[in-house]
A and B are shown apart, each in its own frame.
Chain A
Amino acid sequence: MTDDSPRATDDAPRLIERPVAAAPRPSADGDGAGPDAGTSRDTVFSSRDVNVYYGTFRAVRDVTFDVHTHEIMALIGPSGCGKSTVLRCYNRMNDLIKEARVTGTITYRGTNLYNERVDPVEVRRRIGMVFQKPNPFPKSIYDNVAYGPRVAGQKRGLDDVVENSLRKAALWEEVSDRLSDSALGLSGGQQQRLCIARAIAVGPDVLLMDEPCSALDPIATARIEDLMQEIKQDYTIMIVTHNMQQAARVSDTTAFFTAEVHSENDSRTGILVEVDSTQKIFSNPSDERTENYVTGRFG
């Protein structure tokens, strides 16, 4: 990261700070959210007894943990343990599934995300998402990155936003001479970095990454992991991963989930086993189930 002078330490609420997009949205919303930040400055997300239901089926049970600023939190666990479902609660992405229902409380910088006055569109501008499969729009590279700022109403300064976002996503050098080419012509790894640039362009506070490297080869994966380390100083990152080495390499804290199998109908409910520093999870976990998983004896 070359574009930032040394930052002030966390003594001032910085939740509105948008390092890339100068001001994609009116400044009013920044002031409005300010007071909340004072009460829990270091905690970005605080989840208490979160349950997710699909219809009557409970997909995730009683999840409680906190996420702190400028930390990379990894969510790991076997398939079907609800990691992605949990991740999607944090930017109201589960709203898009008609029968999904979330109970319990999730606060973002002190505001309950599921409070009825909360606008999910506004939430998603602050809490960006990178998906499992690279999903660029069938448009030019430039238009992909400019999409978020444009729907937020920004018309001027888009060139700068696009360049800065692509630089942050470590893609600028590779695409600067063909910004008007279709994004679908990029390789998988480049597409995923483009998706990261697109998420960064709206100036989010948090990035949610849902298995961002599972469709990529090891070299592209390494680039994304390096990138995560670089942008960590600007964003709080939550990453779902199947890859335990990846969790161990990139994250500061790790949450281990597992699935309870209900023998009567063979359905699975995800539960949180433990949350701790990544080092502790991988060297000396408190729970036996975690140990079995990270040592490869299960899952």
Chain B
Amino acid sequence: MISRLSDDRSRAAIAASIERRRVDTRGLLFKTVLQSCLVITLALLAVLLITVALDSTDQIGTRLWEFLQGTLRSRSEDDRLGIHQGMYGSLWIAIIVAVLAFPIGIGAAVYLEEYAPRNRFTSFIEVNIRNLAGVPSVVYGLLGLALLLNGQIFGLDRLTGGSSALSGGITLAILVLPIVVITSGEAFRAVPNELREAAYGVGATRWEMIRTQVLPYAAPGILTGTLLSMARAVGEAAPLILVGAISGRLGDNPGLFNIRALTDQFTALPIVITSWTVQSGRDAGFIAAAAAAIVVLLVFVLMMNSAAILLRNRFEKKRG
């Protein structure tokens, strides 16, 4: 009887000590702050997208096809106003970036991660590649100007034709090169060491191990990184201004797949957007045109990002 009583008492004491749940004000506050951070981010993005979409309806809603096929004009009411030169220029730039920056950047990353000795010198190089990725893009524009237009080094201006899509593409390829090296390097570092050991263990050489294990395993990561860096390149305006992208009248484009277009005068979507926005001061109709160009650029970039995600999922399934 007595023991039952003390048992009940201790049960009551336990219940009293653990049934202390109350409202955690500070925790709730913290969670609310975090939520509002997210809401602010999304709201800003939504406002941006909605204003751009609304502004663009004059062009995209009424004459989409003409707008996509038209050219740079000095008046916004012009029937032939449009952005096909900007689209072609951006497409060429994307191709040049892919052709130049991807192999060189991935190659440099393979060397750094798989071959280079681990010492102070290599870590010095790695730190500086990261620094290069943070250099403002205008500086790369200056590099392109000196290297490809003014012919100060190697007389490369004769090859690029001065201000041309090729010059712009090369400049942007140099701009994204450090990003490609960093993202691919991270993809290589994520390859499990057990795979390397397994390949070596059955008599693979270093090259065979890299080709058959490291590259396939790292492919999705490399792909995502490189496509994102391409999206960055396509969105850059500042370096292109320095290498002389045209913002006013531009001769008729010789056609997308005419190789001559490479060394001709060029423009690109970000340049068109900048120029039209500037002109909207005297001709309000350019607001709609600039907004429409932004929509086109966003679609362009979104397509690249979705391609990156799709390809990555496919590779990862294969890795599976």
**B contact face: mostly helix, strand, loop, or mixed:** helix
In the assembled complex, B205 has its CB within 8 A of some CB on chain A: yes
Kindly identify which residue among B117, B192, B204 contacts A121, using a CB–CB cutoff of 8 Å: B204
In the assembled complex, B201 has its CB within 8 A of some CB on chain A: yes
In which size bucket is the chain A interface?
Answer: 20 to 34
**B202 adjacent to A138 (CB under 8 Å):** no
Kindly identify which residue among A98, A131, A133, A152 contacts B201, using a CB–CB cutoff of 8 Å: A131
Nearest-Cβ distance from residue A229 to partner chain B, whole angstroms = 22
**A133 adjacent to B202 (CB under 8 Å):** no
In the assembled complex, A52 has its CB within 8 A of some CB on chain B: no
- Count contacts on B: residues with CB < 8 A to the other chain: 22
CA distance A246 to B315 in the complex (A): 41
**A202 adjacent to B194 (CB under 8 Å):** no
- Chain B residues within 8 Å of A137, by CB: 195, 198-199, 212-213
**A138 adjacent to B203 (CB under 8 Å):** no
CA distance A135 to B201 in the complex (A): 11
- Chain A residues within 8 Å of B118, by CB: 98
- Chain B residues within 8 Å of A159, by CB: none
User: Which of chain A's residues has its CB closest to B316's CB?
Assistant: A138
Which residues of chain B (173-220) have a CB below 8 Å from chain A? Answer: 192, 194-205, 208, 212-213, 216-217
**A195 adjacent to B198 (CB under 8 Å):** yes
- Chain A residues within 8 Å of B31, by CB: none
**A151 adjacent to B202 (CB under 8 Å):** yes
User: Which of chain A's residues has its CB closest to B192's CB?
Assistant: A135
In the assembled complex, A198 has its CB within 8 A of some CB on chain B: yes
In the assembled complex, A244 has its CB within 8 A of some CB on chain B: no
Binary B-proximity of A87-118 (CB < 8 A = 1, otherwise 0): 00001010010100000000000000000000
In the assembled complex, A124 has its CB within 8 A of some CB on chain B: yes
- 6 tightest A-B CB contacts, nearest first: A148-B202, A125-B203, A135-B194, A129-B201, A135-B198, A151-B204
Given contacts A151-B203, A151-B205, A201-B202, 7 further A-B contacts (CB under 8 A): A96-B196, A121-B204, A124-B200, A125-B202, A131-B194, A138-B195, A198-B198
